[in-house]
Amino acid sequence: MYKNVFLKKGKEESLKRFHPWIFSGAIHHIDGEPEEGDVVRVVSAEGKFLAVGHWQIGSIAVRVLSFSDIEINAAFWEERVRVAYNMRCAIGVAGTEQNNTYRLIHGEGDCLPGLVVDVYGKTAVMQAHSVGMHVDRMAIADALLSQTQGAVEHVYYKSETTLPFKANLGQENGFIRGGSADNIAVENGLKFHIDWLKGQKTGFFVDQRDNRSLLEHYAQGRALLNMFCYTGGFSVYAMRGGARLVHSVDSSAKAVDLVNKNIELNFPGDPRHQAFAEDAFKYLDAMGDQYDLIILDPPAFAKHKDSLKQALKGYTRLNAKAFEKIQPGGILFTFSCSQVVSKDNFRTAVFSAAAQSGRRVRILHQLHQPADHPINIYHPEGEYLKGLVLYVE
Task: Supply the minimum distance, in Å, between the C-beta of residue 248 and ligand SAH.
Answer: 9
Residue whose CB is less far from ligand SAH, 132 or 233: 233
Number of C-alpha atoms within 13 angstroms, CB side, residue 187?
Answer: 29
Residue whose CB is less far from ligand SAH, 251 or 327: 251
Task: Supply the minimum distance, in Å, between the C-beta of residue 335 and ligand SAH.
Answer: 8
C-alpha distances (whole Å) from 87 to each of 80, 340, 371 are: 11, 27, 9
The SS3 assignment for 346 reads helix
Q: What are phi and psi of 231, to 5 degrees?
A: -80, 0
Residue whose CB is less far from ligand SAH, 262 or 345: 262
The SS3 assignment for 282 reads helix
Task: Supply the minimum distance, in Å, between the C-beta of residue 283 and ligand SAH.
Answer: 7
Task: Supply the minimum distance, in Å, between the C-beta of residue 258 and ligand SAH.
Answer: 9
Residues 6+ apart with CB under 8 A from 357: 320, 323, 324
Task: Supply the minimum distance, in Å, between the C-beta of residue 334 and ligand SAH.
Answer: 11
Nearest CA to 173 out of 153, 195, 192 is that of 195
Report how far residue 369's alpha carbon sits from residue 349's, in angstroms, rounded to the nearest whole number. Answer: 19
Residue whose CB is less far from ligand SAH, 338 or 345: 338
Residue whose CB is less far from ligand SAH, 61 or 263: 263
Specify the amino acid at residue 208.
Q
Report how far residue 58's alpha carbon sits from residue 36's, in angstroms, rounded to the nearest whole number. Answer: 10
Task: Supply the minimum distance, in Å, between the C-beta of residue 76 and ligand SAH.
Answer: 33
User: Is the CB of residue 247 less than 8 Å from the CB of residue 274?
Assistant: yes
Residue whose CB is less far from ligand SAH, 141 or 293: 293
User: Is the CB of residue 110 less than 8 Å from the CB of residue 80?
Assistant: yes
When computed from its CA atoms, the radius of gyration of the chain, rounded to whole angstroms, is 22
Task: Supply the minimum distance, in Å, between the C-beta of residue 327 and ligand SAH.
Answer: 21
Residue whose CB is less far from ligand SAH, 53 or 387: 387
Q: Which residues pair with 155 in a beta bridge?
A: 124, 177
- Please give the residue ranges that form the binding site for ligand SAH (CB under 6 A): 205, 208, 228-231, 233-234, 250-252, 255, 279-280, 297-299
